[in-house]
């Protein structure tokens, strides 16, 4: 068994939340799990690696009175989903987020993040892929 390399806990994401490219307005993917410094998206196309993206996540009123978060994140890994080869799993690290938005992101982690004791292979960690 491979030793756990993650330093921060990760949680499956229980809410269908879209992540958009703030520059183009196009859908990048949907959140599938989250940690306090990154997240995994399910995407319909592969994403360019080691590039900072300007992203937007629209918010719900039960999380924040803000309508959206805008921040920078870098795609660290991208893999074809082994259960659904028409989708990709993409791990991102947050590179720049205003402190007030980060508080909302942490609330998303607490409210919509489901603790799980066992992860399937498709739930690879963000940094190590």
Question: Which 3-state string (H, E, C) describes 72-101?
Answer: EEEEEEEEECCCCCCCEEEEEEEEECCHHH
Contact 69, 57 (CB under 8 A): yes
Give per-residue pLDDT as tens, 88-116.
999 999 999 999 999 888 888 777 766 65
Supply the pLDDT for residue 87: 93
Supply the pLDDT for residue 110: 76
Supply the pLDDT for residue 126: 45
Supply the pLDDT for residue 10: 57
- The torsion angle over the Cα atoms of residues 44, 104, 68 and 71, rounded to 10 degrees, is -70
Which residue numbers in the chain have pLDDT < 70?
1-16, 113-129
Supply the pLDDT for residue 115: 64
């Amino acid at each position: 068994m491979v030793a756990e390399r993650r330093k921060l806990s990760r949680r499956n994401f229980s809410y269908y939340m879209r992540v958009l490219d703030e520059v183009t307005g196009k859908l990048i993917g949907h959140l599938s799990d989250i940690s306090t410094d990154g997240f995994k998206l399910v995407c319909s196309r592969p994403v360019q690696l080691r590039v900072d993206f300007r992203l937007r996540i629209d918010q719900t009123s039960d999380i924040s009175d803000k309508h959206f978060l805008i921040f920078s994140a870098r795609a660290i890994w991208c893999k074809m989903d082994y259960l659904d080869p028409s989708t990709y799993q993409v791990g991102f690290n947050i590179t720049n987020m205003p402190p007030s938005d980060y508080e909302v992101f942490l609330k998303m982690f607490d409210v919509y993040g489901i603790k799980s004791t066992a992860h399937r292979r498709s739930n690879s960690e963000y940094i190590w892929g």
